[in-house]
Amino acid sequence: MRVVFMGTPDFAVPSLEITAKEHELLAVVTQPDRKRDRGQNVKFSPIKDRALAYDVPIYQPEKVSTSEFIALMEQLNPDVIVVVAFGQKIPKALLELPAHGCINVHASLLPQYRGAAPIQYAIINGDQK
C-alpha cells in the first residue's frame, strides 16, 4: 500500500520502521524542528531522525489543516495515512483523503486517555487494560 506516515516522538519510531519495511512509504509528516534542550539547540524529532534514512519527503507543517498541506497530500494520493502520536488534530478533509482511510495508533484507551501523557494517567488511575 502507498502510505503517508504522521508521527513525532520515540513511541512512533517502531511503527514507522514497520510501515517502511512492509509498504511503499510516500512521505513522512512530523512536527517542525524545535529548540529542545537547555542550550536551546534545535533538535529533530525522533521520527525525522529515523525518516532521513528512507529517502522520502519529510514535511513539517505548523498546521496540517491548511489548504496548501491538504493539496500536497492529495497530490501524493496515499492509500492510507498512518498516524502515531503526531500532536495535531487531523482535519476531516485529510481523514477522508486516502482510499482506505486513516489508521491511528494510540498508547492508551480512547477517549478516556486522549491527550498528553496517556500512559502516565492510566498508571496513576490504576488501570489494568
Span 43-63, pLDDT tens digits: 899 999 999 999 999 999 999
State how beta strands 80-84 and 2-7 pair: parallel
The length of the chain in residues reads 129
Q: How many CB atoms lie within 10 A of CB 97?
A: 19
Give a yes or no: residue 102 inside a domain.
yes
Give a yes or no: residue 16 inside a domain.
yes
Give a yes or no: residue 109 inside a domain.
yes
Quickly state the pLDDT bin for 26 (edges 50, 70, 90).
very high
H runs (alpha helix) in the chain: 13-22, 46-51, 67-76, 92-95, 118-124
Between 125 and 65, name the one with better pLDDT. 65
Give a yes or no: residue 120 inside a domain.
yes
**Strand, coil or helix: 68:** helix
Give a yes or no: residue 27 inside a domain.
yes
Q: What is the pTM of this model?
A: 0.88
Cα separation, 35 vs 62, whole angstroms: 15
Give a yes or no: residue 129 inside a domain.
no
Query: Which structural domain range is residue 111 located in?
Result: 2-124
- Look at residue 127 and tell me whether its pLDDT is greater than 90: no
CATH assignment at residue 42: 3.40.50.170
Span 77-95, pLDDT tens digits: 999 999 999 989 999 999 9
Share of the chain above pLDDT 90, in %: 71
Split into its structural domains, the chain has a count of 1
Largest Cα span, the chain: 45
Q: Return the pLDDT at 113.
A: 77
